[in-house]
Amino acid sequence: MLEPVAATALDRRRILVVDDEPLIGTAMRRTLTADYDVVPVTSAVEGLAALRALIRQRLPSR
């Protein structure tokens, strides 16, 4: 689902796309990938897990 991101890529903005239709996520990724890191998921559960992972990457625990 969510792959590790290189330190230099952390400066790019990310968009989390949650849609039950996988083709929507694919289309959003293709459209926005030049400017954003797009994380497409197909369920709310996956979306929450991806959001938690993204937050952990930006705000590591002390």
pLDDT at 54: 83
1 within some domain: no
Q: Which residue has the tokens 């993204």?
A: 54
Mean pLDDT of the chain: 85
Please state the rounded mean pLDDT for residues 30-36. 95
pTM beyond 0.85: the answer is no
SS3 content of the chain, % helix, strand, coil (to 5): 50, 15, 35
Full residue range of the structural domain in which residue 48 is found: 11-58
* Section 1-15 average pLDDT: 65
Q: How confident is the model at residue 12 (pLDDT cuts 50, 70, 90)?
A: confident
Domain for residue 43, yes or no? yes
Q: Is residue 23 part of a domain?
A: yes
Task: Note whether residue 35 is domain-resident.
Answer: yes
Query: Quick check: is 5 in a domain?
Result: no
Per the structure block, which two tokens stand in for 24? 């929507």
Answer yes or no: is pLDDT of 7 > 50: no
Domains in the chain, number? 1
Residue 21 lies in a domain: yes
Of 61, 56, 48, 62, the C-alpha closest to 1 is 48
Q: What does the alpha-carbon distance between residue 26 and residue 32 come to, in Å, rounded to a whole number?
A: 10
